[in-house]
Structure 1
Amino acid sequence: MTGALSFAAPAVLAGLLLLPALYFLLRATPPAPRRQVFPPLRLLREIAPTERSPVRMPLWLLILRLLVASLVILGFAGPEIVPPRLLPGTGPILLAIDNGWAAAADFPARIAAARRIVEQAGRRGVALLATAPDAAEQKPHATGVLTRAQALAALGAMDAEPWPSDRIADLAAVRAARTRIHDLTGVYVADGLAQPGLGRFIAALDPARIVAAPARGIRLLKPPRIARDGALIARLAVVAQRDRVIQPVLAENASGGALARAIITIRPGSTKGEARIGLPAALANKVVKLVLPGRPAPGGVALLGSGARRVVAGLVAGGTANPEQKLLGALYYIRRALPSGASVRTGTVEQLAESGASTIILADVRLRPPEIGMLQRFMDDGGVVIRFAGPLTATRSDALVPDRLLRGVRALGGALTTGKPEAVAGFAPASPLAGLPAPKSVTVTRQILADPASLDPATVWARLADGTPIILGVRQGRGVLADVLTTANTAWSDWPIAAGFPALIGRLVRLGMGEAPKSGMLKPLRALDGAGRLVVPGSAAQPIEAAGLAQVPVSPAHPPGLWGNVHGAVALDIGGHVPLPEAADYPATVPVTGLDALPRARRFGPAILAAALLLLSADLLISLILRGALRLRVAAIGAVLLLAWGGTARAGEIPPAALATTLAYVKTGDAAIDSVSKAGLAALSDTVNQETAARLGPPRGVVPGTSNLQLYPLLYWPVTGATTPPGKHACAALDAFMASGGLLVIDTDGGGTDEQGSGAGFDPGAREALRRVTACLAIPPLKRLTANDTLAHTFFLTRHFPGRFDGAPVYIAAKGGRDADGVSPVVIGANDWAGAWATDRAGAPMRAMLPGTPGQRLHATWFGINLVMYALTGTYKSDQVQIPAILRRLSR
């Protein structure tokens, strides 16, 4: 690289003029006084016959000190080789920087390029223009002429924005800057994206150089589609290019954990691609966004509103008749009225409440008190309970009702009754069913009556033509309880066969999770920032009518994010509100440079100052030698350095695990598994340090048979179907580890989980892998771990022992197979404990929980702490002194 020599602070070079004066000053410095020992008996022999102290400083030492002074002056002057001049003209620089959504993915590289331009501008001054409006809806405008330091500070405070650049405002800002500041030289750091008005903006800026990254790197996630079977279809848009595009996409939950990964492949020349993300319904409902990994940008995030959640409906019917009987069964019409793609399950109330269902529909079911408690907790967590009346619930009401009901059945019309069947008048305007059309030609012949003496008008969601309630509803916790006071089949009304019945069921089942609002004003709930993170919306964000949300452009007034009202939330994604990405076409007369292609200045000031410091240290040593004061000091310094070196060498021979209590994991050779094991034990060690008096060091990976296992109290061994059986030496090392008091924790990545995540024990693959891998080990007879064992209460009282999976049994050594102190040398499970403990650098969980029940990750952490305390303290909690306290806590 060619360039010219320059100085950052040329005025400092004036110090070189002082070197002659320094020369005479150093020569005039008198020599140091000579020390002479005065022994009375050796006086004559020790005194030299002539004076040998030098009159002047030696010439070579004088030159050395003058050289040090020159180097200090040159170093502070900041010599540098400046690259060839890239910017013509002599006036200030107008630096325009794209900071819209398309520039966010590599925005740090754009700021770095802008810094190099500012450095090249030198003393010319720089005016900055960020082309996207800020969160306060302040339109783009150019700053005044800034010095080099001011411009660098302003660049450090600049952020990417989650909306496009405003080319009309950019054009006005450039014209205003050229009117205000004369002789401007334009430079444009572009995002590479074509936009309406870009050509006029570039013409007004008249850039001497354009710095841009290739547009082929722009990625835009389009709003996902929901397939008929409920699967998510991730969609990606890119700039057309000659090579095939392969882009992974992650489905993440609210805490940032990845639930699924898919690969989108786009053919050469194409601009769009899709990938299917199939998940069990209970897990699919936990997905809140799709993310392009490694690209912290709003264009790489697609949020999912409440309307995108998949319905998981649990159906329960009372009575003894076949609930699925064609045209007559209590569940026949409900099953067919559920939204397309809904997952349907049947079973008992207890099974469905724990299965991850979003809605439970009860058709003439009389509930017992325990079932009422389960359903109340289900609704508190956001579930929807829909009840239909019938002969069983008419004779005796239970406590799970929105309002008090009367016993008996009201008959409307018939041979033995007066009156006639009543029509459904419509839905209450203030209810969640508002907006549904009133069912036409629907009549009700029988119903259960709400008690008019205690009726709360707010619980009435629909009435008959005579004013009596036909649907009652109430919010409970985050969920909903709805009671339809007629049957789910045609026994009491013809509503189930009406055209509007599916719309009614569809609205009801989505009340807990929320549905996509179709009317009313929407407010911004959470907004995406320039790094693709959900944050509090800015002050400029304004409500918008739901009907116009699909056409609104993203801007500070309507930022991308989640918008909603009482009915639910809808996602405003960038991908659905900006055009498909297209590469910009720049003028052929303007040179275009890549972000990393700008030459950099080579600075020599720090190196020169370092050389001056070394020469100054040499001068100090030489002065000590000339004064005769170095011998004793050299001996002392040498002794200290020798001791320090020897101590360091001896300390280096001691393994770190011998200096602090440390957990270990067996290296499997699989980088993904080993990283999770390391992260899981690291997070567990941090929690143990916070919750207990123990102090653990960072975990270490070991290889049995090679590493010294005796240094570790607990050894975590993840076993998968690909794990190879240990060799002879490794088996001997593991047996010796267990025999010497170590705790070997053998874990697999999940055993026997179905779609709902319920445990069914070790699956055959996990059982076979464990049998094959542990065949050479001296494993004692095993028993299933229970809440009565010491391991269940070494620190926390735990009744179950989940990890990332829940339900598989955990085994420890049986009583007769334990050693003398009663501590089990081995714990075997299939719940992937490390996956539950593992967190990333930001503290977010690395893996999702299956099934993800409330408190599962917390209980996994509790069990992990119990494992550590069990390995460190053994069976001290089995002491009789502790029994009364444990019994009291268990009783609570």
Structure 2
Amino acid sequence: MIGPLSFAAPAILTGLALLPALYFMLRATPPAPRRQVFPPLRLLHDILPTERSPVRMPWWLLLLRLLAAALVIIGFAGPEIVPPPLLPGHGPILLAIDNGWGAAQDFPARLTAARHLVDQAGTRGVVLLPTAATATGQQPRASDVLTRAAALAALGALHAEPWPSDRAADTRAIDAIRRHIADLTGVYLTDGLAEPGSASFVAALAPARLITGDTADLRLLAPPHLAANGALVATVLTLPHPGRIDQPVLAETASGVALARATVKIGPGRAQGSASFDLPVALAGKIARLALPGMAAPGGVALLDGATSRVVVGLVSGGTANPEQRLLGTLYYVRRALPPGTTIRTGSLDDLIASGANALIMADLPLNPADIARLHHFMAAGGVAIRFAGPLTAATKDALTPDPLLPGVRALGSALAAGKPEAIAAFDRGSPLAGLPLPASATVSRQILVNPATLDPATVWARLSDGTPIVIGARQGRGMLVSILTTANAAWSTWPISADFPALIDRLVHLGKGAVPKSGRLHAIRVLDGSGALVLPGSGVRPLEASGFAHALISPAHPPGLWGDAHGTIALNLGDHVPPLARAPLPAGVPVTNLDSIPRARRFGPDILGLALALLIADAAITLLLRGAIRLRGAALLLAGLMWFVMPPPAHAQSNDAHNSAHDVPPGALAPMLAYVRTGDANTDAISRAGLAAISDQVDQETAAHLAAPRGVTPGIDNLNLYPLLYWPITATTTPPGKPACHALDAFMAGGGLLVIDTDGGGSDLPGSGAGFDPGATAALRRATACLAIPPLERLTDRDTLAHTFFLNRSFPGRFDGAPVYIAAKGARDADGVSPVVIGSNDWAGAWALDGAGMPMRALLPGSPGQRQAANWFGVNLVMYALTGTYKSDQVQIPAILRRLAQ
């Protein structure tokens, strides 16, 4: 329904009363001249004049000017069509806004809807009530009655929180504000979730209208888990929906690099679905979190910890006997005690460390100095080394132990020793083994003793009933060293054959992956904010008892994130620490409006002012025509040009690869954009376009520059002067450019543009000249650049400005790594010291390119850690180098800066 017409500034309409006065002013004629008898004028009486000037303005021109003046007055009065009132009543508006984790997914749309409601409230005043507690733990409370400007400012400072709304505190806040203001009209922007206390809250609010989003789009990642085959399983929770849902999930590293993508399929009427990531061990170990692409909310993130990380365990034993011999082998019980899904490998220490194992179990294995050095390096990188004692280790003492050991073996309850086998004592509260079931039936008859003179009590993790240490451990770098001072089979102890031995092995192999004890206090290390990003914990975060971790509820005191102690970290995810997803019932008789359906006022002031300006321009052109200053054709051209300037025709969307002549200005030419040379190969052009688009997005995010979408060009036809950087991929099928294209590329380089020539071969030979440059090159590259005036080249190093234009780059990889990069030699650059050309063979666009889901389109070779990040950094440096040149090398202002610092 269309509302009545109103004006934002109706007082300006009083100017319409001046139009009659303006009419008489425009109609006024100059005073009659004084008559003086002059007889010679009689001779001119009968001569007709060649030009007549009217004494009055033409009526149609007068009407045009009066109409333009009226339109100016009406336009400044701000005419608008106001929609029908959405909010009943006459008192202030009590606007309750859900800003818990359930509203974070579409929170910008909620703020937009809230601003429209504030506009509709007008002068009634607004009371704001965010329903989630603040990060400092302050409970929700209603604001005072705010004016429109104050309410909009408060909405600008409002953001989503990563915990649920506090319905009990919300209800108390509504009761408190209604005791002071009786005629409040309640409006509720709800997230649509049913939570404990929701019914009482809605009853207290008594909303006159509900504003809700589409709960069918709500997604929540449940904590991931490992399948029996070791694959990582992602589970997505949602509210039941009649249609099928296909939800992509990304497996990401700690730095946000996507390693894999899986699609969770949720059938009609179902509330959850799962999908697995079956990755190689080397990649699976790098996964730090799962994320829903395009969803900047804490519900779209699930963090991984030691319990959900794939464990690769290497088993190695000393001696010549078969370590896998049934019931007797040193590795027989250990292998069967490993948790399900564990990847088990056997072999030498060198092979196991090189295979990517993150835990090593050594059963009675003597070590030489070279082995100890390798194990120290392994533990420094985060590995866990677990050593079981035995006759061989007792006879050959080495230095790889958390505490010095005594020579020999202690025998308990044997024919030649006093006493009896000792049981395992209860684990201390601060021990990493705390919380494990006590192996009450297990006894130890032989063990190796720790030197009591040098014993550090902090290294003792378990003791026998007589107080003798049986398990000692200490952190080594990022990893852990654990010594179990008895055998891994039943030769010295019945612990390996007890029912509780698997729990011990499970706890130990996960120590390097962040598992924590089941007792003690955990502290927040990194927490999720309302946008799903990991940030430092705030002042309102409190320690969490490990014993109650499984039943903890997400709150400002215990936000989702990574928690831990000195032994590692564990993930507190939203999925299993918030109330189950359920759709809140809508109160009967309350109108419901969608977030996107709130009617807005239609304002016509700018359009009317534009029309008035067009009439004034037409009046100017007509006046010049009547005075003879221009002819009819000139007046028409002037009028058309001015009208186009005031009201330009709407631009039509074009493809990036649309063909334009050299004289046409492409859409968005006034905004900086990157360009690539069309090769004629659809796949190559798609990679170039996607690569430059990804780098443009990263430049937008990292710098103050804002780039338009990249564009494909044809040198010699398209105007290259519109682009600061031109990327030219050369393949084996690239044909040499014609003479017009060569002239255009030379002019582009001479005019200050940066030409980036790249191949996808990963080679190291490039065409050119100059000292230290190898002239041998691939045939395609040599043919393609033969006609260009390429200056003398030199190898790019990390000392050149291009290596630190924005990021600090020590290497310049792309999809390939290792090939040199060449730029113009010092004397061949322009007056500002900028190279007009960069030549490489690393396939940079192949490393930059991302598909629609944000996944890399091409794999890297060799794929070393940080290669893609270094390639992206170099891409940003290339763009900033093309836009800003060598500004970072400018030393002119250094003396002035030093003088200012001295003052």
TM-score range, shorter chain: 0.7 to 0.9
Superimposed CA distance per residue, residues 169-201 of structure 1 (whole angstroms, 9 cap, x where no aligned partner): 333333333332343333222222234443443
- The alignment partner of 1:527 has SS state of strand
- In 2, Cα distance between the equivalents of 1:664 and 1:585? 58
1:211-290 aligned at under 5 Å gives the runs 211-290=211-290
- The alignment partner of 1:483 has SS state of strand
Q: TM-score, with normalisation over the residues of structure 1?
A: 0.72
1:450-599 aligned at under 5 Å gives the runs 450-464=450-464, 468-599=468-599
Residue 411 of structure 2 is matched in structure 1 by 412
Equivalent pair of 1:213/1:594 in contact (CA under 8 Å):
yes
Which among 759, 769, 784 is matched to residue 744 of structure 1? 759
Task: Give the C-alpha shift of residue 336 in structure 1.
Answer: 1.8
- In 1, Cα distance between the equivalents of 2:214 and 2:146? 29
Task: Give the C-alpha shift of residue 701 in structure 1.
Answer: 6.0
1:133-282 aligned at under 5 Å gives the runs 133-282=133-282
Distance 1:838 1:448, change over 3 A: farther
- In 1, Cα distance between the equivalents of 2:400 and 2:730? 48
Residue 14 of structure 1 is matched in structure 2 by 14
Distance 1:357 1:197, change over 3 A: same
Task: Give the C-alpha shift of residue 661 in structure 1.
Answer: 10
Task: Give the C-alpha shift of residue 5 in structure 1.
Answer: 0.6
Residue 96 of structure 2 is matched in structure 1 by 96
Distance 1:196 1:335, change over 3 A: closer
Task: Give the C-alpha shift of residue 111 in structure 1.
Answer: 2.3
- In 2, Cα distance between the equivalents of 1:400 and 1:248? 47
- In 2, Cα distance between the equivalents of 1:404 and 1:342? 32
One-letter amino acid of the structure 2 residue matched with residue 412 of structure 1: A
- In 2, Cα distance between the equivalents of 1:182 and 1:606? 41
Distance 1:227 1:328, change over 3 A: same
Task: Give the C-alpha shift of residue 510 in structure 1.
Answer: 1.6
**Bigger mean CA deviation after superposition, 217-226 or 850-859:** 850-859
Residue 897 of structure 2 is matched in structure 1 by none
Structure 1, unaligned runs of 5 or more: 32-43, 691-695, 718-725, 749-775, 781-790, 813-824, 869-892
Task: Give the C-alpha shift of residue 801 in structure 1.
Answer: 11
Distance 1:398 1:533, change over 3 A: same
Structure 2, unaligned runs of 5 or more: 32-43, 646-660, 747-755, 764-777, 783-792, 800-808, 822-838, 880-903
Distance 1:29 1:233, change over 3 A: farther
Equivalent pair of 2:250/2:258 in contact (CA under 8 Å):
yes
Task: Give the C-alpha shift of residue 441 in structure 1.
Answer: 5.4
Distance 1:713 1:8, change over 3 A: closer
Residue 385 of structure 1 is matched in structure 2 by 385
- In 2, Cα distance between the equivalents of 1:22 and 1:353? 94
One-letter amino acid of the structure 2 residue matched with residue 337 of structure 1: A
- In 2, Cα distance between the equivalents of 1:559 and 1:270? 28
- In 2, Cα distance between the equivalents of 1:697 and 1:511? 48
Task: Give the C-alpha shift of residue 519 in structure 1.
Answer: 1.7
One-letter amino acid of the structure 2 residue matched with residue 274 of structure 1: S
One-letter amino acid of the structure 2 residue matched with residue 744 of structure 1: T
One-letter amino acid of the structure 2 residue matched with residue 346 of structure 1: T
1:859-878 aligned at under 5 Å gives the runs none
- In 1, Cα distance between the equivalents of 2:568 and 2:559? 18
- In 1, Cα distance between the equivalents of 2:811 and 2:156? 51
Equivalent pair of 2:226/2:309 in contact (CA under 8 Å):
no
Equivalent pair of 2:132/2:139 in contact (CA under 8 Å):
yes
Equivalent pair of 2:662/2:718 in contact (CA under 8 Å):
no
Residue 400 of structure 1 is matched in structure 2 by 400
- In 2, Cα distance between the equivalents of 1:610 and 1:569? 63
Residue 121 of structure 1 is matched in structure 2 by 121
- In 1, Cα distance between the equivalents of 2:8 and 2:876? 58
Equivalent pair of 1:381/1:479 in contact (CA under 8 Å):
yes
- In 1, Cα distance between the equivalents of 2:840 and 2:152? 60
Equivalent pair of 2:333/2:496 in contact (CA under 8 Å):
yes
Task: Give the C-alpha shift of residue 380 in structure 1.
Answer: 2.0
Distance 1:316 1:866, change over 3 A: farther
- In 2, Cα distance between the equivalents of 1:712 and 1:111? 41
- The alignment partner of 1:106 has SS state of helix
Residue 337 of structure 2 is matched in structure 1 by 337
Equivalent pair of 2:311/2:343 in contact (CA under 8 Å):
yes
Equivalent pair of 2:560/2:572 in contact (CA under 8 Å):
yes
Superimposed CA distance per residue, residues 640-688 of structure 1 (whole angstroms, 9 cap, x where no aligned partner): x9xx9xxx955969xx9xx99977697654999666644677699999x
- In 2, Cα distance between the equivalents of 1:834 and 1:627? 62
Q: Percent identity?
A: 57
One-letter amino acid of the structure 1 residue matched with residue 502 of structure 2: P
Equivalent pair of 1:131/1:166 in contact (CA under 8 Å):
yes
- The alignment partner of 1:471 has SS state of strand
Distance 1:496 1:778, change over 3 A: same
Superimposed CA distance per residue, residues 210-264 of structure 1 (whole angstroms, 9 cap, x where no aligned partner): 2223432322333334333333333333323332333232332222233333333
Residue 715 of structure 1 is matched in structure 2 by 729
**Are 2:352 and 1:352 equivalent residues in the alignment?**
yes
One-letter amino acid of the structure 2 residue matched with residue 166 of structure 1: D
Equivalent pair of 2:691/2:847 in contact (CA under 8 Å):
no
- In 2, Cα distance between the equivalents of 1:253 and 1:359? 21
Residue 322 of structure 2 is matched in structure 1 by 322
- In 1, Cα distance between the equivalents of 2:7 and 2:700? 50
- The alignment partner of 1:335 has SS state of helix
Residue 602 of structure 1 is matched in structure 2 by 602
Equivalent pair of 1:680/1:834 in contact (CA under 8 Å):
no
Equivalent pair of 1:716/1:746 in contact (CA under 8 Å):
no
- In 2, Cα distance between the equivalents of 1:510 and 1:124? 61
Distance 1:190 1:25, change over 3 A: same
- In 2, Cα distance between the equivalents of 1:533 and 1:252? 13
Residue 723 of structure 1 is matched in structure 2 by none
- The alignment partner of 2:595 has SS state of coil
Task: Give the C-alpha shift of residue 383 in structure 1.
Answer: 1.3
Equivalent pair of 1:447/1:492 in contact (CA under 8 Å):
yes
Equivalent pair of 1:171/1:201 in contact (CA under 8 Å):
yes
Task: Give the C-alpha shift of residue 482 in structure 1.
Answer: 1.6
One-letter amino acid of the structure 1 residue matched with residue 227 of structure 2: A
Equivalent pair of 1:517/1:564 in contact (CA under 8 Å):
no
- The alignment partner of 1:386 has SS state of strand
Residue 786 of structure 1 is matched in structure 2 by none
- In 1, Cα distance between the equivalents of 2:187 and 2:558? 30
- In 1, Cα distance between the equivalents of 2:523 and 2:197? 31
Task: Give the C-alpha shift of residue 205 in structure 1.
Answer: 3.1
Distance 1:53 1:671, change over 3 A: closer
Equivalent pair of 1:779/1:826 in contact (CA under 8 Å):
no
- In 2, Cα distance between the equivalents of 1:541 and 1:842? 35
- In 2, Cα distance between the equivalents of 1:331 and 1:734? 68
Aligned length: 769
**Bigger mean CA deviation after superposition, 535-544 or 854-863:** 854-863
Distance 1:551 1:362, change over 3 A: closer
- The alignment partner of 2:233 has SS state of strand
- The alignment partner of 1:433 has SS state of coil
One-letter amino acid of the structure 1 residue matched with residue 729 of structure 2: L
- In 2, Cα distance between the equivalents of 1:191 and 1:215? 7
**Are 2:304 and 1:294 equivalent residues in the alignment?**
no
Equivalent pair of 1:460/1:469 in contact (CA under 8 Å):
yes
Distance 1:28 1:404, change over 3 A: farther
- In 2, Cα distance between the equivalents of 1:672 and 1:325? 59
Superimposed CA distance per residue, residues 570-626 of structure 1 (whole angstroms, 9 cap, x where no aligned partner): 333333233333333323422222222222211101112222333344455566667
Task: Give the C-alpha shift of residue 464 in structure 1.
Answer: 4.8
- The alignment partner of 2:179 has SS state of helix
Equivalent pair of 2:129/2:142 in contact (CA under 8 Å):
yes
